[in-house]
Amino acid sequence: MGKYKKDVRQSKLLETVSKNPFLTDEKLAQQFDVSIQTIRLDRLELNIPELRERIKTVAQEEKEKVRSLSLQEVTGEIVELEMNVRAVSRFSVEESHTFLKYNIARGQYLFAQANSLCVAVIDYPVVLTKSAAIDFIKQVKVNDIVFSNATVQSIDNHVAKIEVISKVEDDTVLKGKFEMYFKNEDEDNDKNSD
Amino acid sequence: MGKYKKDVRQSKLLETVSKNPFLTDEKLAQQFDVSIQTIRLDRLELNIPELRERIKTVAQEEKEKVRSLSLQEVTGEIVELEMNVRAVSRFSVEESHTFLKYNIARGQYLFAQANSLCVAVIDYPVVLTKSAAIDFIKQVKVNDIVFSNATVQSIDNHVAKIEVISKVEDDTVLKGKFEMYFKNEDEDNDKNSD
DNA sequence: CTCATATTAGTACCAACTACTAAGGGGGAT
DNA sequence: ATCCCCCTTAGTAGTTGGTACTAATATGAG
């Protein structure tokens, strides 16, 4: 294969690196059949950081994701998030979430969605549920998509009060008030559960 | 703070590195107030890879850790049941029920145990949660065994009020009041979710 | 042919290591 | 006290994957 011209090579380089950030300059040089120096000049011009920096960035992103992913497992997917202010999540009800005979979702799943949304919206390393008051207003059925809306009402020293409203289309299915206790990792204290 | 002994230092090192893989040997040496060489010997003995390898591993970790933790299997096992009067269930907390970093059980699992106990204690074909007010009183950790105790306070036409107290050994970890809506299969009505 | 641009070569230096050798230090058991 | 062992620290050489810089060479367009 013939060598590319500079501009083509650079745009391909950008693509390659973003697809696979784990390639050294040496590998890239082989791949594009140019010298290492050329790759380095290209990176310089394109502001592509070196291998180690690229990996580090990926690792840090991955770390963040692990936190939010572990929340998502149970609770649906967070679609909007304004830290310490509000958040929205989406939960699609499947058969496994329902009473088999009636296809009505078990309340604990709706609770779980609301509860973990409250954990997510509070931007502290440790967030535990202190209390919850929930009204289940309307049945939720299989295949319904539940949007849960959390709004932080107040947030002080160590406790946030959050209001959650979950809807299926325009119908409110759940209303809840949560008190969440939060702290930094290092602080020592004893309370609560989630 | 005085220096740790070797074995203590090494176990703390393991913990530190797994919590934050982004620390160089130099930083670790400062943190533990020992020389860089000591940290390196420790890493050698403990098979902790170097910084760059650690970062790389984190970066490569696939996001497909999607363990499906069904809340259904979570609700514990019913150990005592007096229909429409009281019931007790047992729930053993496993790692998958906790926040990874802190081994503290997520509140939604404790809620799920209490909630499904309320469903079980009411002897009607359809039982849905109408409202719930929960206080999470104490943290529950991995390997704790939670006994949940539901007592029916009142039961009338279509609504039962139930008090739930969950304990780990002698410590109360959760107190809740549930209103459960119930009916016979054939009755038609529209309310609630679980 | 000329001249700018592109490419390659080469050097010195850096961070964060591994792998190794060697020197001290501090306790216990004898 | 002495000996010995383990732990700790120091120091050197070599590695990877770079940055930053200078200098030489190729190439193509006018």
- pLDDT band at residue A186 using 50, 70 and 90 as cut-offs: low
Confidence of residue A182 (pLDDT cuts 50, 70, 90): confident
Residues B50-59: pLDDT tens digits? 999 999 888 8
Q: Which of residues 62-101 of A touch B (CB under 8 A)?
A: 62-63, 65-66, 69-70, 73-75, 96-97, 99, 101
Please check whether strand D approaches the CB of A45 to within 7 Å. Answer: no
Nucleotides of D under 7 A from a protein CB: 7-11, 16-21
**Residue carrying the six token digits 């497909």:** B64
Residue A109 pLDDT exceeds 70: yes
Give me the pLDDT at residue B23, please: 94
pLDDT at B33 over 50: yes
Q: Would you call B137 helix, strand, or coil by DSSP?
A: coil
- What pLDDT was estimated at residue B186? 55
pLDDT tens for each residue of B81-97: 888 899 999 998 877 67
Mean pLDDT score of chain B, rounded to an integer? 82
Give me the helices (H) in chain A, please: 6-19, 25-32, 36-46, 51-75, 107-121
pLDDT at site B69: 37
Whether B49 has its CB under 8 Å from any CB of chain A: the answer is no
Strand D proximity: list residues 9-28 of A with CB under 7 Å: 24-26
Contacts of B179 (CB under 8 A, 6+ apart): B129, B130, B131, B132, B159, B160, B161, B162
Q: Please check whether residue B168 is in contact with residue B151, taking contact to mean a CB–CB distance below 8 angstroms.
A: no
Q: How many residues does chain A have?
A: 194
The answer to whether some atom of strand D lies closer than 7 Å to the beta carbon of A2 is no
Residue B28: what pLDDT? 93
Identify the band that residue B63 occupies on the pLDDT scale cut at 50, 70 and 90: very low
Residue B68 predicted with pLDDT over 50? no
Cα–Cα–Cα angle for B165, A177, B137, rounded to 5 degrees:
30
